[in-house]
């Protein structure tokens, strides 16, 4: 609605109409009825529309017809409902025939109204209408609905009316009243709910209803309808990008029922409207200073714009468009950085087909959404949702509809037989960053037998298929996938982000390989190196077990003596990979029994010890520094290995590594006081390497008593995984898939607190720790829980004034961007891109 109003003001050709706002929808949802005064206001605006168009609603001679379209503040393609040609009835259809001199067109418009109205307002199954249309086409022996005559369509109108018991609602004002309610209701249909959840859109925004004079793309060969983008939504490249269907109306393009022609085809068919469209696309992009997604209709040669909005785009396209628009002088670097959606960048870090792999391409469709995926074929969304929880599946459909949304979310990739680049499957997959190949016409499906055929090959449900959404390739069987590289546009935007952000970004990395990858992604150090992973190595585990099984301290020390050089070489590798950058090494955290086999599988001699070590709540048991205090020889060995490694690397590289030794699960100042003493004592026995000694802050008590703990710490690193677990009393291992899933589905909680920081709870504890800790000394502060790579949580850490966030290597680029955006929004310079 806002887009239509703005376009009207720009002088772009837009049909006349009015918008019922989202306020009305919210009032309707709250009161379960349209708010008082709305109907009178609608009447008033309808009268204005009649004056403006010179047509009257329900006029048997020259009826005003309107479209009744949903439209939310955030684009939710195809999720809500729309009705076209509203205002037609048994007499008005004759008026339409007379004024247009086109009986076929009038009948086609009427049958479409009954079909859409029946489905949306009266809940008649859409498939019944489709089936009647398919049957009639078969009876007439024609392939397309455009081949049906006026008489055929009249017959279809009669068939459709039978589904209404013979009489379709005839009063146009009544049609409108009910249609408005139905569009409001569609805000809460299941697919819209699923879509909102998947995209983090609030449930209480509501939809507007746009009531707009109909313009007709189905008036013959000088009419048509289409969708276009001002830049390629897959790559971001400039150029002509869109699709067009001659003699068709509204939803035909998006629904993927007929495969449309490329926009270029419009140049020959409708040259004047085409030129005007190009000019309008350019103006709209300049006006909005962002890539636009435009719907248009041509009625007997005249162009009308029906919608414009910031285009949904792949991450790669978003980056290219942002860089090029900056080069073109359309936007600033800050705006370019602000409008990239960090969580979408994940897409670029998705697998591609291994360029070295050999495979046969079984079929090629449209490269609708990039990325590659292998998985087992499933033929319907319910199966995809169900099997997708356990294994990788590819959803294979004739075409997708908004009702398939849950299956699309669960699938690794989507393959459709019909539909173009702007079909539902393509648009939704791009938004989700899922690979999609659309319009793969070489494929045919037998949904009863649950098989797919490509040429001579028949595939069953469960057979493995690979799709490459970047090239449109479909391959039978699995193909090796590789992680992609950060391309030039990505690099450029990240460098701009680096100039803007204040937060440093480190990585959680346990091996030299991870450390190297993290550096390539721009990590400025390691914020968490979990040493337990080194204990699990094949050559280490038996020694670790020997240490645990030892009867006394002397036995433990003997085993630890053998672990020492192994640990030392691990640390050397990591220090070398991170030369010049800080590395935080955390001493052993998990309870010891994790290193022993399960009781049932354990050899006899281990069983007694396992029983001793078993705990009812191991996460709240003997782990972290509690272990280190009880068995100081373990931490002594680790500290010795760290400082020896640092000295060896200093020797070789000529430059000392920046070492930070971190103690886990501290809750009491006294714990850290003792551990610091241990650390200092061992290190000074060894050499003169410099290091910082600090602690994880991952217990509520540690936050509250951060002042006392700070006395013994050089730095704090928030372990928000454990802090969330302990502050909320939600088991990290038991919540997801159980009650937490229920909570999220039922809206008890809006977000998963293990993914997005619970700002008002856990976040407040962090705030207390920051204030109390920094009141004692100038502490270095960071976060190394999973939240350190989640954009919203990164913004919160910026606000808190932390020095750095640390996250898994693959999320480092996201965190760099999110940190820049946090800095920008602090400056007040950022704006949320409508398409972001």
Residue 528 contacts ligand PEP per CB under 6 A: yes
Candidates 406-414, 458-466, 513-521, 718-726; binding stretch for ligand PEP (CB under 6 A): 718-726
- Token digits for 464? 């493995």
Candidates 377-385, 516-524, 702-710, 720-728; binding stretch for ligand PEP (CB under 6 A): 720-728
Give whichever of 528 and 634 is closer to Mg ion, judged by the CB atom: 528
Candidates 140-148, 560-568, 628-636, 719-727; binding stretch for ligand PEP (CB under 6 A): 719-727
The DSSP call for residue 588 is P
Chosen from ligand PEP, Mg ion, none, partner binding at 700 (C-beta under 5 to 8 Å by type): none
Candidates 16-24, 338-346, 604-612, 714-722; binding stretch for ligand PEP (CB under 6 A): 714-722
Angle between helices 150-162 and 103-120 (to 10 degrees): 20
Residue 100 contacts ligand PEP per CB under 6 A: no
Separation of first and last alpha carbons in the chain: 19
Q: What's the CA dihedral at 140, 146, 152, 155 to 10 degrees?
A: 120
Q: Element (H or E) spanning 817, and its range? A: helix 812-827
Phi, psi of 49 (to 5 degrees): -65, -40
Give whichever of 46 and 588 is closer to ligand PEP, judged by the CB atom: 588
Candidate list 406, 418, 424, 712, residue with the active-site label = 424
- Of 363, 784, 797, 820, the one binding ligand PEP (CB under 6 A) is 784
Give dist(CA 772, CA 92) in Å, integer: 75
Contacts of 437 (CB under 8 A, 6+ apart): 365, 366, 367, 368, 413, 414, 415, 416, 467, 468, 469, 472, 473, 474
Residue 527 contacts ligand PEP per CB under 6 A: no
Minimum distance from CB of 806 to Mg ion (Å)? Answer: 13
Give whichever of 155 and 722 is closer to Mg ion, judged by the CB atom: 722
Provide, for the chain, the percentages of residues in helix, strand and coil under a 3-state DSSP scheme, each rounded to the nearest 5. Answer: 50, 20, 35
Minimum distance from CB of 803 to ligand PEP (Å)? Answer: 16
Other CB atoms within 10 A of residue 761 CB: 15
**Whether residue 144 lies in the annotated active site:** no
Closest-CA residue to 272 (of 13, 52, 16):
13
Assess contact for 687 and 644: CB atoms under 8 A: yes
Residue 719 contacts ligand PEP per CB under 6 A: yes
Minimum distance from CB of 619 to ligand PEP (Å)? Answer: 9
Q: Residue of minimal CB distance from Mg ion?
A: 722
Q: List helix spans (H) across 693-787.
A: 700-704, 706-710, 720-728, 739-746, 762-776
Give whichever of 624 and 657 is closer to ligand PEP, judged by the CB atom: 624
- Of 152, 295, 404, 698, the one binding ligand PEP (CB under 6 A) is 698
Give dist(CA 17, CA 759) in Å, integer: 43
Residue 785 contacts ligand PEP per CB under 6 A: yes
Give dist(CA 267, CA 242) in Å, integer: 12
Assess contact for 367 and 472: CB atoms under 8 A: yes
Chosen from ligand PEP, Mg ion, none, partner binding at 293 (C-beta under 5 to 8 Å by type): none
Residue 786 contacts Mg ion per CB under 5 A: no
- Token digits for 394? 């590819």
Binders of ligand PEP among residues 576 to 605 (CB under 6 A) are 589
Chosen from ligand PEP, Mg ion, none, partner binding at 371 (C-beta under 5 to 8 Å by type): none
Minimum distance from CB of 773 to ligand PEP (Å)? Answer: 17
**Whether residue 25 lies in the annotated active site:** no
Give whichever of 82 and 508 is closer to ligand PEP, judged by the CB atom: 508
Chosen from Mg ion, ligand PEP, none, partner binding at 793 (C-beta under 5 to 8 Å by type): none
Minimum distance from CB of 739 to ligand PEP (Å)? Answer: 20
Binders of Mg ion among residues 423 to 462 (CB under 5 A) are none
Give whichever of 407 and 719 is closer to ligand PEP, judged by the CB atom: 719
Candidates 146-154, 234-242, 644-652, 717-725; binding stretch for ligand PEP (CB under 6 A): 717-725
Residue 334 contacts Mg ion per CB under 5 A: no
- Of 530, 609, 780, 798, the one binding ligand PEP (CB under 6 A) is 530
In the block, residue with structure tokens 């005007």: 276
- Of 401, 471, 511, 721, the one binding ligand PEP (CB under 6 A) is 721
Chosen from Mg ion, ligand PEP, none, partner binding at 213 (C-beta under 5 to 8 Å by type): none
- Of 152, 285, 335, 722, the one binding ligand PEP (CB under 6 A) is 722
- Of 719, 753, 809, 813, the one binding Mg ion (CB under 5 A) is 719
Q: Could you tell me how many residues of this chain bind ligand PEP (CB under 6 A)?
A: 10
Give whichever of 285 and 722 is closer to ligand PEP, judged by the CB atom: 722
Residue 722 contacts Mg ion per CB under 5 A: yes
SS3 203: coil
CA 801 and chain centroid, separation: 28
Assess contact for 350 and 294: CB atoms under 8 A: no
Q: Element (H or E) spanning 529, and its range? A: strand 526-530
Candidate list 25, 703, 784, 807, residue with the active-site label = 784
Beta strands in 434-510 (DSSP E): 436-438, 443-446, 451-454, 457-460, 464-468, 473-476, 481-482, 504-508
Minimum distance from CB of 718 to ligand PEP (Å)? Answer: 7
Burial status of residue 23 (CB atoms within 10 A of its CB: 0-12, 13-18, 19 or more): exposed
Binders of Mg ion among residues 28 to 67 (CB under 5 A) are none
In the block, residue with structure tokens 């000295």: 647
Minimum distance from CB of 757 to ligand PEP (Å)? Answer: 11
- Token digits for 304? 């009308």
Give dist(CA 243, CA 246) in Å, integer: 10
Minimum distance from CB of 487 to ligand PEP (Å)? Answer: 31
Residue 302 contacts ligand PEP per CB under 6 A: no
* Sequential DSSP letters for 80-134: S-EEEEET--TTHHHHHHHHHT-HHHHHHHHHHHHHHHHHHTT---HHHHHHHHH
Minimum distance from CB of 722 to Mg ion (Å)? Answer: 4
Binding site for ligand PEP (CB under 6 A): 528, 530, 589, 698, 719-722, 784-785
Residues of the shown chain interacting with Mg ion in the complex, contacts defined by CB under 5 A: 698, 719, 722
| Active-site residue set | 424, 784
């Amino acid at each position: 609605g806002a887009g239509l109003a703005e376009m009207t003001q720009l002088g772009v050709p837009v049909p006349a109409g009015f918008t019922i706002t989202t306020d009305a929808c919210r009032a309707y949802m709250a009161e379960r009825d349209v708010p008082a005064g709305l109907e009178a206001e609608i009447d008033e605006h309808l009268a204005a529309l009649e004056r403006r168009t010179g047509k009257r609603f329900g006029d048997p001679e020259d009826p005003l017809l309107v479209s009744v379209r949903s439209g939310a503040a955030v684009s939710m393609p195809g999720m809500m409902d729309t009705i076209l040609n509203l205002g037609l009835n048994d007499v008005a259809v004759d008026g339409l025939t007379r004024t247009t001199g086109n009986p076929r067109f009038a009948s086609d418009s009427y049958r479409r109204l009954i079909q859409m109205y029946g489905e949306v307002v009266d809940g008649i199954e859409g498939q019944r209408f489709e089936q009647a249309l398919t049957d009639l086409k078969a009876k007439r022996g024609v392939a397309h609905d455009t081949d049906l005559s006026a008489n055929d369509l009249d017959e279809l109108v009669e068939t459709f009316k039978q589904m209404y018991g013979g009489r379709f609602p005839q009063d146009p004002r009544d049609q409108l009243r009910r249609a408005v309610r139905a569009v409001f209701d569609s805000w809460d249909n299941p697919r819209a709910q699923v879509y909102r959840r998947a995209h983090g859109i609030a449930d209480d925004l509501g939809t507007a209803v746009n009531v707009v004079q109909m313009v007709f793309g189905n008036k013959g060969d000088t009419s048509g309808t289409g969708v276009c983008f001002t830049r390629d939504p897959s790559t971001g490249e400039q150029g002509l990008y869109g699709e067009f269907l001659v003699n068709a109306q509204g939803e035909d393009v998006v629904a993927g029922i007929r495969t449309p022609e490329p926009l270029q085809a419009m140049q020959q068919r409708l040259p004047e409207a085409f030129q005007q469209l190009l000019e309008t696309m350019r103006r709209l992009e300049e006006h909005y200073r962002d890539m636009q997604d435009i719907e248009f209709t041509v009625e007997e040669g005249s162009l009308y714009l029906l919608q414009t909005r910031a285009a949904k785009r792949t991450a790669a396209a978003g980056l290219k468009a942002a860089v090029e628009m900056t080069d073109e002088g359309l936007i600033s670097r800050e705006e370019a950085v602000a409008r990239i959606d960090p969580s979408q960048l994940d897409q670029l870090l998705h697998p591609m087909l291994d360029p070295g792999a050999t495979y046969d391409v079984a079929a090629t469709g449209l490269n609708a959404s990039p990325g590659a995926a292998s998985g087992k074929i499933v033929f319907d969304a319910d199966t995809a949702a169900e099997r997708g929880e356990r294994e990788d599946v590819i959803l294979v459909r004739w075409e997708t509809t908004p009702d398939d949304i849950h299956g699309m979310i669960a699938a690794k990739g989507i393959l459709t037989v019909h539909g173009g680049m702007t079909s539902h499957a393509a648009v939704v997959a791009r938004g989700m960053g899922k690979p999609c190949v659309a319009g793969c016409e070489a494929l045919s499906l037998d949904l009863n037998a649950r098989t797919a055929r490509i040429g001579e090959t028949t595939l069953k449900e469960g057979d493995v298929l690979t799709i490459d959404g970047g090239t449109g390739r479909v391959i039978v069987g699995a193909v090796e996938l590789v992680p992609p590289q950060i391309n030039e546009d990505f690099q450029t935007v990240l460098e701009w982000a680096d100039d803007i952000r204040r937060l440093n970004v480190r990585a959680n990395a346990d091996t030299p390989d991870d450390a190297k990858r993290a550096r390539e992604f721009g990590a400025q150090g390691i914020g968490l190196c979990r040493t337990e992973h080194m204990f699990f190595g094949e050559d280490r585990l038996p020694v670790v077990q020997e240490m645990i099984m030892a009867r006394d301290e002397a036995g433990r020390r003997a085993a630890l003596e053998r672990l020492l050089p192994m640990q030392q070489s691990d640390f050397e590798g990591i220090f070398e990979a991170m030369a010049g950058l800080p590395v935080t090494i955390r001493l052993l955290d998990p309870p010891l029994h994790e290193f022993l086999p399960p009781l049932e599988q354990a050899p006899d001699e281990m069983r007694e010890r396992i029983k001793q070590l078993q705990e009812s709540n191991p996460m709240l048991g003997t782990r972290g520094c509690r272990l280190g205090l009880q068995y100081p020889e373990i931490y002594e060995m680790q500290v010795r290995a760290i400082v020896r490694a640092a000295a060896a690397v200093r020797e070789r590289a000529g430059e000392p590594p920046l070492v930070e030794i971190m103690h886990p699960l501290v809750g009491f100042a006294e714990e850290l006081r003792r551990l610091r003493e241990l650390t200092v004592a061992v290190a000074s026995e060894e050499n003169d390497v410099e290091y910082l000694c600090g602690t994880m802050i991952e217990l509520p008590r540690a936050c509250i008593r951060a002042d006392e703990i700070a006395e013994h710490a050089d730095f704090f690193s928030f372990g928000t995984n454990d802090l969330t677990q302990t502050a909320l009393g939600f088991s990290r291992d038991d919540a997801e898939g159980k009650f937490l899933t229920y909570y999220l589905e039922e809206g008890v909680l809006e977000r998963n607190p293990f993914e997005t920081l619970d700002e008002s709870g856990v976040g407040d504890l962090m705030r207390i720790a920051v204030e109390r800790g920094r009141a004692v000394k100038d502490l270095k502060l960071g976060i190394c829980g999973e939240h350190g790579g989640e954009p919203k949580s990164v913004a919160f850490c910026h606000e808190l004034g932390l020095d750095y966030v640390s996250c898994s290597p693959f999320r480092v680029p996201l965190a760099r961007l999110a940190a820049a955006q946090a800095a920008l929004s602090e400056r007040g310079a950022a704006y949320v891109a409508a398409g972001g």
